[in-house]
Amino acid sequence: MYKFLNTVLIGITSGAIYSLMALALVLVWRSTRVVNFAQAGQALLSTYIGYEVIQNFHSFWLALAIAMVAGAAVAALIDAIFMRTLFKRAAEGPIAGVAPIIATLGLLGLIRALLGLVVGGKEASIRPPVSNIGFTISGHTLAFSPLKLLIVASVLFLMLVLSLIFQHTNVGLALRASAYAPEIARLAGVKVDGIRTLGWALAGAAGAAAGMLQTPDGNGALSPDSLEFSLLLVFGFIAAVIGGLESLVGAVLGGLLLGLVLAFVLIYISGSLVFITAFVLLIIVLLVKPGGLIGSRRGRRA
């Protein structure tokens, strides 16, 4: 009974972080039709910035806020300076489809290499802002701590805010129109280039939050070649695909579903099967329901 409950709780927490990464990927996909592999690098860079803030000001919350702002700024710069130029240069032919993807892979490598140069082998870690010791009910310690509660709540909050922006504001309407039909959006007067950059910025902030929340939930360690951040990208991507790539709600549900499945495999079967399960799940979704399990018509809009 407790084993089952704990598995669910572990799944929800790790799933919530995959959801945040998935949100970031979906935001960029929705605003520019690019699968942004650099997102992991951007998240890592933002988390390092957050780490520096903690070292200087000793506040996790301030660090989270600054990391998100920095993440947004970095993403906006990448889009405005790099991606926009790329789209103009490689606008036609077979290269137009591949160039952006290769470019984001290149950026991922570049960011990590630069971070390696700057921070080198210096050890860095982020301690949890609140206790990571599980709650206890009638003598049993649950795999759910104040920190995990905080993570889940933050993710739900961010999803809510982003959904509200997208569905109920003028900026959100411009973002959706630019993603679905840039030409019609321009004819309607939307300054599509700027709006796309804004989409990248929102994604950058979400990715930064994923990095800042994930790090203290793991062993806290940060490094330029962090395996945790690579996994975050892979699992976030799988979650986004499960959610249908288009929908913010889908991304969150996809992340939670992936988190739960992986937790059950980890605890009930074997840790060595976790990876395989994630990829098998990805392939099954792509083959059986390429539009995503959760990519329903209504879900697509939200």
Partner 1 sequence: MTLVVTDLTVDHGAIRAINNISFRVEEGQLAAVIGANGAGKTTLLRTLSGLTHATGGSASWHGTELLYSKPEKLVRRGVSHVSEGKSVIPELTVKENLHLGALWRKNSDEAHATQEMILDTFPRLRDRLDQQADILSGGERQMLAIGRALMSKPSLLLLDEPSLGLAPLLVAQIFQSIRALTSQMGLTVVLVEQNAMSALKIADMGIVLNRGRIAASDSSVHLIANPQVRAAYLGY
Binding region for partner 1 (CB under 8 A):
170, 173-174, 176-177, 180-181, 183-192, 297, 300-301
Are 42 and 104 spatial neighbours (Cβ–Cβ below 8 Å)?
A: no
Tell me what percent of the chain is helix, strand and coil, each rounded to the nearest 5. Answer: 75, 5, 20
Nearer to partner 1, 56 or 167 (CB): 167
Q: Is 92 helix (H, G, I), strand (E, B) or coil?
A: coil
Q: Which is nearer to partner 1, 84 or 301 (CB)?
A: 301
Shortest CB 187 distance to partner 1, Å: 5
The distance of closest approach from Cβ of residue 165 to partner 1 in the complex, given in angstroms and rounded to an integer, is 14
CB 176 to partner 1: min, Å: 7
Q: Which residue, 36 or 178, is less far from partner 1 as judged by CB?
A: 178
Helix (H) or strand (E) holding 211: helix 192-217
Nearest to 259, CA basis, from 274, 271, 248: 274
Distance CA 210, CA 233 (A): 10
Q: Which is nearer to partner 1, 5 or 186 (CB)?
A: 186
| Long-range contacts, 231-234 (Cβ 8 Å, 24+) | 232/17, 232/18, 232/21, 232/40, 232/43, 233/21, 233/37, 233/39, 233/40, 234/278
Helix (H) or strand (E) holding 297: helix 297-301
Minimum gap (Å) between residue 184 Cβ and partner 1: 6
Q: How far is the CB of 188 from partner 1 (least distance, A)?
A: 5
Task: Name the token pair of 8.
Answer: 């669910």
- Of 184 and 286, the one with the shorter C-beta distance to partner 1 is 184
Helix H or strand E segment including 221: strand 221-222
Beta strands 140-141; 136-137: pairing state = antiparallel
Task: State the Cα–Cα distance between residues 61 and 74, nearest whole angstrom.
Answer: 20
Minimal distance, residue 85 CB to partner 1, in Å: 17
The smaller minimum CB distance to partner 1, of residues 59 and 169, is found at: 169
Name the minimum Å distance from CB 218 to partner 1. 38
Nearest to 207 by CA among 236, 175, 245: 236
**CB count in 10 Å sphere of residue 62:** 14
Q: Compute the least distance from the CB of residue 79 to partner 1, in Å.
A: 18
Contact between residue 292 and residue 243 where contact means Cβ atoms under 8 Å apart: yes
Q: How many other C-beta atoms are found inside a 10 Å radius of the C-beta of residue 94? A: 8
Please, which residue, 30 or 112, has the CB nearer to partner 1?
30
Q: In this complex, which beta carbon is closest to partner 1, that of residue 66 or of residue 174?
A: 174
